[in-house]
Homo-oligomer: A and B are copies of this chain.
Amino acid sequence: MVKDIYEQVMTLAKRRGFIYPSYEIYGGVAGFYDYGPLGATLKNNVEQAWRKKYLLQDNCFEITTPTITPFEVLKASGHVDEFTDITVDCSKCKRSFKAEDLLQEGQILEEELTKKSLKCPECKAPLEHPHPVNLMFSTTIGVGKEREAFLRPETAQGIFTNFHLLYRHNREKLPFGVVQVGRGYRNEISPRQGTLRQREFNMAEAEIFIDPQDKTHPNFHHVEEYELLLFDNTKEIKVSAGKAVKQKIIANQALAYYMCVTQELLLSFGIDPKKFRFRKHADDELAHYAQECWDVELYSDHFGWIECVGIADRSAYDINAHIQATGTDMYTKRPFDTPIVVQKQKIIPKMDVLGPLFKGDAGAIKALLEAMEPSEQSQLTLEYKGKTFEIPKESYEIVTVEEKQTGEKLIPHVIEPSYGIDRILYFILEHTFKQVTKKGEQYHLLGLPAHIAPISAGVFPLISDESLVEQAKMIDQELRNHGIPTYYDEGGTIGRRYARMDEVGTPFCITVDHETLETGTVTVRNRDTTKQQRIKNTHLTHYFIQHLVKRG
């Protein structure tokens, strides 16, 4: 009987140290997983390859910010109000479930609840009381005078709240990109789907800040001919990036460019191109901040198509939200070719009126007023810190000034490629997993690409002869000193040792034999071809650096 692929992959993953269910000795906790020795290294290698693409090739900056995030930040970003799942409770055992998980296609929640046809998966009593539940983990900062906070649902807000500093760091020019790689949290109501739906997960996000009137990308000509694998919700199509933008299948160059980067990156990790597609979000699927979004979906023989990367045009949503909430100047400037002089109406706030009226908020309100366009209304209103402030007419005057303008103020738009690292890692394992029958025995092999494989080379003495062992250990250490991860093994037959390495995706095995002592050469066996070649010991380091050149 053919075992289920998920079961096979996870059995291998646990047995060989890729993935462990967390806190298993304490009965486990749904939605939490550990990466064991090989999994953690695979993850590091994937993240380093990702960084190489975004930081070195695409010139993005990386920053890293706390996971604990104060309430105000996530109130402004919309997560306090919008990051929710509709939940239903069991009328008997009081357990809670995510409504979406229980509905069949075409069913409408309210109707099913009225019919009492939705039953508790645990105790079979009818479900009731649909209500939104926020999915953020909450905590408090400090003791005594506590401050409400959440664990971040995405790394992106840490970038947006620093936008003005990052813009200055880039010497006040657009476009530029900033990335963050790290943990995100989502307190799933009832996590299923194993490692694909975790409550604490690893993400890699890039926020590319661009001029809203110029969504081109300076390197688009490099990818114009690159064939994207798209799915328009009815059929799969292959189309070049250039054509997709021209035919308005994809909204702009910047989106299409990062779709190319993403496809290329994932396929370089060993993802099967036949199980890869971009699917465009329908309007009613879009997140609260998104204007257009393309998901990378990968196909699993167990789970079907699963979203692993989202590439969204978040427009000016987030930066605007933080400007509204804090009054910080987070605008950028689009320079004019030649400065112009304009007659302009300007609001001049009167601090002697604003001060007594708004006390501690007066400074921020002054800044917001100065940034506003004057209007004819007798009473201005301002949104700040989630409150509405009425600004009386006597607290400012409107004057006409002549102003030399060197550029136009604007809030940049954001293109966001957001990668779910854990899902990608699972799919790398599933897509590279092969089971073959060798001499009547089942034999497992992971076809991991050399630049992400946790172990680059197994190093074996042919037999446990002292001189061979010594030589093998020397080669092992020499490779490690050059940053090449190896696995020294003297246990069992050579065939057995090859099998151990094949099973964890090690691309090469080096065997030290008696010829080594005479000629100074070793055999290097290639996992995929199973061919062996003799190489001089002294050339080994160079040989591996060449083969692993893609490694960060």
Contact = CB atoms under 8 A, between A and B. Distances in A.
Interface of A: 16-17, 20, 22-26, 29-37, 39-41, 43-44, 51-52, 55-57, 59, 61-70, 72-73, 87, 89, 94-96, 133, 137-145, 147, 151, 158, 161-162, 164-166, 169, 171, 178, 183, 185, 187, 189, 199-200, 322, 325-326, 328, 330, 480-481, 483, 485, 491, 552
A123 B69 CA distance: 28
Contacts of A144: 89, 94-96
A161 to B, nearest CB: 6
B165 A70 contact: no
26 contacts: A17-B169, A22-B66, A22-B158, A24-B161, A25-B322, A25-B326, A26-B325, A29-B147, A31-B141, A32-B68, A33-B66, A34-B63, A34-B64, A34-B66, A35-B63, A35-B64, A36-B61, A36-B166, A37-B61, A37-B178, A40-B61, A41-B55, A94-B145, A133-B143, A139-B139, A142-B189
Contacts of A44: 51, 62
A322 to B, nearest CB: 6
Contacts of A59: 480
B483 A70 contact: no
Contacts of A151: 68, 139, 151
Contacts of A89: 144
Given A139-B139, A481-B56, A65 B22 contact: yes
**A-side interface mostly:** mixed
A358 B415 CA distance: 58
Nearest to A87: B143
B20 A52 contact: no
A330 B25 CA distance: 10
Contacts of A30: 142
B137 A68 contact: yes
A164 B552 CA distance: 32
A43 B17 contact: no
Contacts of A330: 25
B165 A17 contact: yes
10 shortest A-B CB distances, which residue pairs?
A37-B61, A96-B144, A56-B480, A34-B65, A25-B328, A25-B326, A40-B62, A17-B169, A66-B200, A96-B143
A108 B423 CA distance: 55
Contacts of A141: 29, 31, 137, 187, 199
A201 B325 CA distance: 27
Contacts of A31: 141
